[in-house]
A and B are shown apart, each in its own frame.
Chain A
Amino acid sequence: MALDIAIEQAGGDMAVIALTGELDASNFTTLIEAGRTLHADGTRRIVLDLAGLSFLASSGLVALHSLIRILRGEAPPDPEEGWGAIHSLEFDVSGAGVQNEVILVAPQAAVDRVLERTGLKRLFRVHEDRSAALADA
């Protein structure tokens, strides 16, 4: 199954990205590119709706991390530079707690399991539905 990325403006500097399908090593850079485009157009916060996402590979975690970096105006690793750059990237969570740039909505059990098992879930606020996430953003 391919990955579909649907983008909606949500007012102000906020946008909603709804992912449908499977996020893997073949397509994770398209999500990073979507983030770059949104940031260039003024978006600083993203509500990421995962209700339609049935699979999240470890490369998808790199995309999630990259979205945060992009929205902060930082340069994420360029996948064109190879996997060495991707493997060396770090996310400092000391003292910062949960970040505010990307809020997650309705991860399916399989996706939630990946976030839990890798420790990355602690980076995100997670809501059951989109309206709750927008109210919290």
Chain B
Amino acid sequence: MIEAVSAAAFDARTIEIEARLDRLAAVRAFVRSSCAELGAADDCVVDLVQAVDEAATNIVTHGYEGQAGPIEVTISSAADGVRVEVRDRAPAFDPTSVGEPDLASTRLRPGGMGIHLIRAATDSMTHDDRPGGGNILTLVRTLGLREEED
């Protein structure tokens, strides 16, 4: 099993896991503890746990499609906030290209909410192709309370 938690710098923490659904809980626990170390408010911790879980789930189910592969999550401090980078070696996919669901519609689609929840929980989401193949998803969120989108 690939799994390592390391402190690459004073204010950065990384976990690497195998892309499996039964490793999601470990990723969430890592996000919780790392964000708390950075002084994030509960509101921020809850949001980033949600966002990273949804991102990692998408990598397992859609990116690697159940095949083996690594997922790395790095948490570091950003200006007035937290930066999370989620790296994989799956085929390139840009989640920022996915449109928002129509929440006012009378036909709800509960199965397509993952990327919407990432957007709702963060201040920014950007995607870069990873050198050598794969994806880097970068999420940034302020440390404390933020104005709700709804």
Contacts and interface: CB of A to CB of B under 8 A. Distances in A.
Nearest to A60: B110
A92 B107 CA distance: 4
A64 interface: yes
A25 B60 contact: yes
Interface residues of A, number: 36
Nearest to B104: A119
Contacts of B113: 58, 61, 118
A123 to B, nearest CB: 7
Interface in A60-105: 61-62, 64-65, 77, 83, 86-95
A18 interface: no
A55 B110 CA distance: 16
A92 B109 CA distance: 9
Contacts of B150: 116-117
Given A61-B113, A110-B50, A90 B25 contact: no
Contact of B21 (A2, A24, A62): A24
B106 interface: yes
Interface of A: 1-2, 22, 24-26, 55, 57-59, 61-62, 64-65, 77, 83, 86-95, 109-110, 113-114, 116-120, 123
Interface of B: 21-22, 24-25, 28, 46, 49-50, 53-54, 57, 60-62, 101, 103-104, 106-114, 116-117, 120-121, 149-150
Given A57-B57, A117-B117, 20 more contacts: A24-B53, A26-B21, A55-B53, A57-B24, A58-B110, A58-B113, A59-B57, A65-B111, A86-B111, A89-B111, A90-B108, A91-B110, A93-B107, A93-B108, A109-B46, A110-B50, A117-B116, A118-B113, A120-B110, A123-B108
9 closest residue pairs by CB, A with B: A94-B106, A26-B21, A119-B103, A86-B111, A58-B113, A61-B110, A65-B110, A58-B114, A87-B111
